[in-house]
Amino acid sequence: DGGITQSPKYLFRKEGQNVTLSCEQNLNHDAMYWYRQDPGQGLRLIYYSQIVNDFQKGDIAEGYSVSREKKESFPLTVTSAQKNPTAFYLCASSGDRGLDGYTFGSGTRLTVV
């Protein structure tokens, strides 16, 4: 079945450590996105990529980094510079060069301990 997979589902990180969240899709979608969601709030865009080897900052990119070396993969690294990283992270993808709606993964809940 085609879909978008995020792993792990739960992740714990010590303060000062970098951690990488995985996002893989087999939908042949060009565009991929990372969102952050805090409790009771909406989605805030961290980074997005509309094509391989290219990505742009979203609204809250500080403290995060991404890469897009393959069409299927868009990993997100939460660095130690991110002051409040505990949140629910959602990855999404979109076909047709981002002209249509998004398909979301099931999310990764990151907790800093």
Partner 1 sequence: GESVGLHLPTLSVQEGDNSIINCAYSNSASDYFIWYKQESGKGPQFIIDIRSNMDKRQGQRVTVLLNKTVKHLSLQIAATQPGDSAVYFCAEKRRSSASKIIFGSGTRLSIRP
* Residues lying near partner 1 in the complex (CB under 8 A): 6, 31, 33, 41-43, 45, 48, 50, 58, 88, 90, 92, 97-107, 109
Place of tokens 């094509």: 51
Which one-letter DSSP state was computed for residue 73?
B
Give the helix/strand (H/E) hosting 11: strand 10-13
Nearer to partner 1, 82 or 94 (CB): 94
Nearest approach, Cβ of residue 16 and partner 1 (Å): 27
CA count, 13 A, side-chain hemisphere, 11: 23
Nearer to partner 1, 17 or 111 (CB): 111
